Amino acid sequence: FSFRKMKLIRKSIDKDGEGTAKLVPEVAEDLWHAFHLISVHDRVQASTLRKVQKESATGTVDAERVKLTLTIEVENIDFDAPSGMMRLTGKNVTENDYVKLGAYHTIELELHRAFTLWKPQWDAVFLERLKEATDPRATAEVAAVVMQEGLANVCLITNGMTVCRAHLEGTIPKKRKGIVAAAHEKGQTAFYDSVITAMQRNIDFTVVKAVVIASPGFVKDDFFEYLMKEAQR
């Protein structure tokens, strides 16, 4: 199964709403969430590269790129959805050997690289967005099973996006007379069972109000009929 959500490493928010959340974007959709979580005047800490000048013992000055951890107060947010690029520009707010306090720097958020977001006020809207980003099951009111013969995706549909929670593939022999027909039915049953298991694992039925089953041809009808029979057992 393919589970997709932004990883929440830790969250520390006081009773007045001030605090931080440390997050790791796992897939491109997570940067879309980050774009809607980060606001101007928030502070973001992340590892980044900075070109610095170093003077050698002989007096020559060389420029090199140094990896360091910076915290900036965000002044500009640039998100390019098609390329999945997100850049945050602002002033450095922590002491650093290479970057002066108040110096401008641009941090690029990347997949699988942690960043810490500080907000002066995590209001109800941002807390809900954080919940949606890190656990889509908590806010998705519609789920979808999009399938064809031997292939299915179980998705959650939130206000902001569609998240694929599980991708399943199964081998179903073509339907013919005799023994091969029995093999087809066996393969189809095994595949349908795996789809039902994925639905149970990934859909919170206390939150979801509707499940859409879609496919070309009669696959959706056959699966729905099997699903109803299993539900009545």
Comparing CA positions, the residue from 142, 143, 141, 196 lying closest to residue 168 is 196
| Cβ atoms 154, 1 nearer than 8 A | no
Q: How open is the CA angle 206-151-224, to the nearest 5 degrees?
A: 50
Comparing CA positions, the residue from 22, 16, 77 lying closest to residue 45 is 22
Predicted pLDDT of residue 193: 95
Predicted pLDDT of residue 160: 63
Beta bridge partners of 157: 142, 162
Predicted pLDDT of residue 137: 67
| Cβ atoms 174, 187 nearer than 8 A | no
Q: Tokens 């699988």 appear where? A: 112
Question: Which H or E run contains 80?
Answer: strand 61-80
Beta bridge partners of 210: 142
CA–CA dist 11, 19 (Å, integer): 8
pTM summary value: 0.60
Three-class SS of 19-62: EEEEEECCCHHHHHHHHHHCCCCCEEEEEEEEEEEEECCCCCEE
One digit per residue, the tens of pLDDT, for the chain of length 233 reads 334 578 999 999 999 999 999 999 987 778 888 999 999 999 999 999 888 777 766 777 777 888 899 999 999 999 987 677 899 999 999 988 888 999 999 999 988 999 999 999 999 999 988 988 887 666 678 999 999 999 999 988 876 667 788 899 988 888 776 667 788 889 999 999 999 999 998 888 888 889 999 999 999 999 999 999 998 88
Predicted pLDDT of residue 179: 63
Can you list the alpha helix ranges (DSSP code H) found in the chain?
28-37, 124-134, 179-202, 219-231
Provide the total of helices (H) and of strands (E) in the chain, helices listed first: 4, 11
CA–CA dist 24, 134 (Å, integer): 10
Residue 55 token pair: 């003077």
